[in-house]
Structure 1
Amino acid sequence: MSLLLDAARVAAGLNLVLLTVLITIWGRNYREIRSKHTLGTLVFAVFLFAENALALYYYLTAVTLPPFAVRPMLYLQVLEMGGILFLTYVTLD
């Protein structure tokens, strides 16, 4: 169980790092372009950052997490990481 929780922590932490990169790039792009689409991607990244920060906070501070919840949360964090990795790849390409 602790291995799954550690994996979820790592995934959430990596998501935060990648989202920081995306927020920086998309924020700079919005300042230059001022389009609704660019603003939409920036706001999306900020909300996703907040969700991952909250998840990581719970992963680090919760005394006990129900075992039936840890596995699905890990799967969601990893799937989310895949999407964020792809967005980062497309953005940096």
Structure 2
Amino acid sequence: MSLMLDVARVAAGVNLLLLVALGAVWGRNYLQIRSKHTLGTLVFAGFLFAENLLALYYYLTAISLPLAAVRPMMYLQVLEFVGIAFLTYVTLD
């Protein structure tokens, strides 16, 4: 279980870093373009950042987490990482 929790922690941490990069680009785009779409992407990054920050907080401070909760959360964090990594790739390309 420790390995699964470590993978979830790393995925959440990397997601936070990628979302900071995306938020910076999308924020700059919003300041230049001022469209609803660019604002939507910026708000999207903000909510994803908050979700990953909260998840990382729980992963780091929880005394014990049940295996039934850790495994699906790890899968979700890794899938979220893949999605955010792809968004980062197409945004910064």
AA aligned to 1:78 is: V
AA aligned to 2:86 is: F
Partner of 1:26: 26
Deviation (angstroms), 1:5: 0.2
C-alpha distance in structure 1 between counterparts of 2:5 and 2:40, whole Å: 32
Deviation (angstroms), 1:82: 0.5
Unpaired runs of 5+ residues, structure 1, are none
Q: CA RMSD in A?
A: 0.4
C-alpha distance in structure 2 between counterparts of 1:43 and 1:33, whole Å: 15
Partner of 1:38: 38
AA aligned to 1:69 is: A
TM-score by length of 1: 0.99
Where does structure 1 differ by over 3 angstroms across 4 or more consecutive aligned residues? none
Q: Percent identity?
A: 77
C-alpha distance in structure 2 between counterparts of 1:15 and 1:42, whole Å: 15
TM-score by length of 2: 0.99
Partner of 1:51: 51
Unpaired runs of 5+ residues, structure 2, are none
Structure-to-structure mapping, 1:1-93, within 5 angstroms: 1-93=1-93
